[in-house]
Amino acid sequence: MNYKHLAESAIKAKQNALPLYSNFYVGAAVLTSGDNVYTGCNIESSSYSLTICAERTAIFKAISEGEREFKAIAVAGDMEDYISPCGACRQVISDLCGEIDIIMVNSNGDYIVKKTSELLPFAFGDKDFE
């Protein structure tokens, strides 16, 4: 799968976001090793700690369907700059997806690609930095 299609899936997933308080729409699409795509969006609660990001929604959906191996994840927002996963999502990506490509999409549909370790060097639980 080419990453343009994955980026477009993330952009489309933004439409389902429920950002009740921030009004910040985010969509994500995770690509599995079997080339299946699972999408997610951010969903907010008045108790902010119960809010879930788009990236975690997509990953948890994939895992709940039995997926365990991932190739990439795209995240799209409404910013002119490229949107980057938050710290919590970076840790979840590291823990559950491993070293994958992270496609960060801007509001124009352009994207850049980084590896998990580039966004979260010396990740908690990483034994390779000794």
pTM above 0.85, yes or no: yes
CB-CB neighbours of 84 under 10 Å:
16
In-domain check, residue 127: no
Reported as a single tens digit per residue, the pLDDT across 67-126 is 999 999 999 999 999 999 999 999 999 999 999 999 999 999 999 999 999 999 988 876
Catalytic residue among 55, 67, 80, 99: 55
In-domain check, residue 97: yes
| Count of domains for the chain | 1
pLDDT the model gives residue 127: 57
Q: How far apart are the first and last CA of the chain?
A: 35
**DSSP readout, 13-71?**
HGGG-B-TTT---EEEEEEETTS-EEEEE-B--SSGGG-B-HHHHHHHHHHHTT---EE
Q: What CATH number corresponds to the domain at position 48?
A: 3.40.140.10
Cα separation, 10 vs 13, in Å, equals: 5
In-domain check, residue 29: yes
In-domain check, residue 126: no
pLDDT averaged over every residue in the chain: 95
8 is catalytic: no
pLDDT the model gives residue 122: 86
pLDDT the model gives residue 126: 64
* Domain region containing 15: 3-118
Reported as a single tens digit per residue, the pLDDT across 4-20 is 999 999 999 999 999 99
pLDDT the model gives residue 108: 96
